[in-house]
Amino acid sequence: MQTSELAPPSATTALPDLQRATTPANTPVNARRRVDDDELDLTIVVPCFNEEHNIAATLATIVAAMGELPWSYEVLVIDDGSSDQTVAVAEGYLQAHPDLPIRLHKNPRNRGLTRTYVDGAFLGRGRYYRMVCGDSTEPKETLLKIFGKLGGADIILPFHETVPGKPAFRRKLSQVYTGMVNTLSGYHLRYYNGSAIHFRYNVMRWGPYSFGFGFQAELITRLLDEGATFIEIPVVATHVEKGGPNSALNFRNYLSVGHTLLEVLIRRIRREAFQR
């Protein structure tokens, strides 16, 4: 694959350029992590808001998956102003596993998922960047499938084949949203709300400005406008229905989705106008 214009100045998307372990093959995989280099292969950001019952399982799943892959990595847990014991549970996990490349950052107040996601890119050191939410909805097999494609394109886009536990109404709403983004953007992706792998540089450079769940479609379509390459991967995830500020079905998120759709449409009009 040719070097993408969206790659960081010193990076390419080709797999052989990724940092790999050089110690003997019989050394445990986790011991081969090169966490002292200036740049790692991957930063995994784990945003948390009141996830005391899920954060430990999320971290354990990430560690288990990365233990089977050759990439150097770090996990950045960002607590977004939780009012429960999320921080205490995360700190306990870090104390019990001091050898793992996991850091904890605490937002002084709730800043929202988009701000936390973009801030994490500035705090990380990985060439590539992906979010794994702290609610433990992605099994190890899903993470292995996604991270196994690292370097295959500018954007690795997972889409859900099945989502156990997701109500029919939510599935239909997701389909309608995907259709609207495709119609307004002119692209034809299967899913926009799956957490993609990006170059961390691109998240910093083209970080979205919306404040709700629509930020992923905003970032993806913006990068596609810039000529990013992508591959789509079918994966399985579970659904966790949340209420209150964590719910996707609230007025704030509706505003965010509206902002995203308007932004996508304006950029398409601008793109097509300048192509003439």
Instruction: Flag whether pLDDT at 26 surpasses 60.
Output: no
Please indicate, yes or no, whether the overall pTM of this predicted structure exceeds 0.85.
no
Written as one string, the DSSP assignment of 114-169 is HHHHHHHHHH--EEEEEE--TT--S-HHHHHHHHTTTTSSSEEEEEEEE-TT--HH
- The pLDDT of residue 19 is 33
List the structure tokens of 67.
């233990």
CATH of domain 15-275: 3.90.550.10
CA distance 159 to 195: 9
- The pLDDT of residue 30 is 36
Q: Strand 198-199 to strand 126-131: parallel, antiparallel, or no bridges (unpaired)?
A: antiparallel
In tens, the pLDDT along 136-185 reads 999 999 999 999 999 999 999 999 876 666 667 777 888 899 999 999 99
What ranges do the domains of the chain cover?
A: 15-275
